[in-house]
């Protein structure tokens, strides 16, 4: 059986867009089966008490500069969405539907492209349905299905399951239970697949057992 490369993502993340663009070629080279799993990044942030990059003004500016540079490196189109942060729930719920893998990949392609390649966004149900239909999918049917309680519950379940596995950010890639965070993780995954990961259990145990000598008081200077 092929090993699985699980990809946890949120359309709100430009880094997830950059990772998605090279994910399937990477998986094919290493005989991995892609399992795309949408998660609500905001829920992960809330669970860990984090702020998103776009909620920290200088980090927001740097993030946009960084992804422009990375997209240029990859030769990918990159345009800003109509707003950021935005509500990604419609797109995530569509991506959470139980679709055949090939169809799901095509749907996710369309949604990522609308956010980051064309900059047209995924918050307007009519526009999203039209874009999906133009790409050969049942746009109206997908948008309608995404509004049903089952789709909402499935996205919540996927997000909860990701958090329970230790996912704290997007994109996160998982192979054999090992987590790799970020669009720059593919080289690390390659070493892991070769059995050459320097982060051995013995070595990491030394770090996990470090005592804490200071504790930051949140909200105080």
Q: Which helix (H) or strand (E) holds 160?
A: helix 149-164
Neighbouring CB atoms inside 10 A of 139's CB total 22
* Residue pair 63/14 in contact by the 8 Å Cβ criterion: yes
In the chain, beta strands by DSSP E: 3-9, 32-38, 172-175, 178-181
Q: What's the pLDDT score for residue 3? A: 94
Mean pLDDT score across all residues of the chain: 96
pLDDT in tens, 109-150: 999 999 999 999 999 999 999 999 999 999 999 999 999 999
pLDDT tens-place string over residues 64-109: 999 999 999 999 999 999 999 999 999 999 999 999 999 999 999 9
- The domains of the chain, with CATH numbers, are 3-199 (3.40.30.10)
* Residue linked to tokens 């992960």: 44
pTM confidence score: 0.95
On the question of pLDDT at 161 being above 60, the answer is yes
| 3-class SS of residue 72 | helix
């Amino acid at each position: 059986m092929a090993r699985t490369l699980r990809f946890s993502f949120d359309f709100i993340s430009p880094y997830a867009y950059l990772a998605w663009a090279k994910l399937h070629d990477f998986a094919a080279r290493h005989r991995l089966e892609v399992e795309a799993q949408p998660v609500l990044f905001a829920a992960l942030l809330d669970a860990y008490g984090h702020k998103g990059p776009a909620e920290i003004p200088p980090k927001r500016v740097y993030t946009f500069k960084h992804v422009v540079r990375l997209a240029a490196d990859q030769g990918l189109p990159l345009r800003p969405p109509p707003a950021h942060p935005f509500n990604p729930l419609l797109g995530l719920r569509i991506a959470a539907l139980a679709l055949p893998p090939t169809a799901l990949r095509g749907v996710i392609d369309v949604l990522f492209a609308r956010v980051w390649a064309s900059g047209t966004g995924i918050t307007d149900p009519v526009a999203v349905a039209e874009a999906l239909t133009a790409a050969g999918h049942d746009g109206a049917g997908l948008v309608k299905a995404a509004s049903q309680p089952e789709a909402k519950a499935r996205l919540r379940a996927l997000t909860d399951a990701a958090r329970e596995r230790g996912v704290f950010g997007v994109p996160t890639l998982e192979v054999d239970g090992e987590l790799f965070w970020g669009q720059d993780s593919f080289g690390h995954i390659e070493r892991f697949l070769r059995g050459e990961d320097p982060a051995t259990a013995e070595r990491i145990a030394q770090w996990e057992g470090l005592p804490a000598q200071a504790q930051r008081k949140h909200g105080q200077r």
